[in-house]
Every structure is written in C-alpha cells, then in structure tokens.
C-alpha cells in the first residue's frame, strides 16, 4: 500500500488470481470497522482524508478465506 504515511488516501495493490473475489476492511486501533469495500482490480484507492491522524489497519479478505493485514499511518 502506498503512500505510507498517507494524507488523502492509500492505493492498495493486490495480486490475486482471476475470479477470486476480494474485499477490504478499514479499522481503527480499537478494531472498530470504519469502511468496507470490494477490490475490483489490481489497484484500489481507499480514501482517508475524512479521518483524523492515527494508525489504521487495512485487512484484505479473499473469497477463498485467506486474509492479510497491514498498518497504515494517516497524517
């Protein structure tokens, strides 16, 4: 995910097999769900401008049940 730290938003790059439905979740440091969306291509933009400066977690969930998480700093 770039840039990190971010101001306006973050571009999430995902390498996934064709047809593997993927979604993302954006959560705060306490685990509260702030946003959820579908990943529709290799690059997905996740807006952060409306959020206060903090550390957030983006979790990517695949249709096959696999998941990955990364921390993002919003300035």
Question: What are the pLDDT tens digits along the chain (75 aa)?
Answer: 777 899 999 998 887 666 677 899 999 999 999 999 998 888 889 999 999 999 999 999 988 888 899 999 999
Q: Where are the domains of the chain?
A: 9-74
Topology of the domain comprising 9-74: Immunoglobulin-like (2.60.40)
| Cα gap 70→48, rounded to integer Å | 15
Which tokens in the block code for residue 45? Answer: 């933009």
pTM summary value:
0.85
């Amino acid at each position: 995910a770039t840039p990190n730290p971010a101001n306006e938003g973050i571009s999430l790059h995902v390498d996934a097999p064709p047809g593997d439905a993927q979604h993302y979740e954006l959560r705060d440091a306490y685990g509260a769900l702030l946003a959820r969306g579908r990943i529709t291509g290799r690059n997905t933009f996740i807006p952060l401008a409306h959020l206060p400066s903090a550390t957030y977690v983006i979790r990517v969930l695949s249709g096959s049940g696999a998941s990955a998480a990364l921390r993002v700093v919003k300035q």
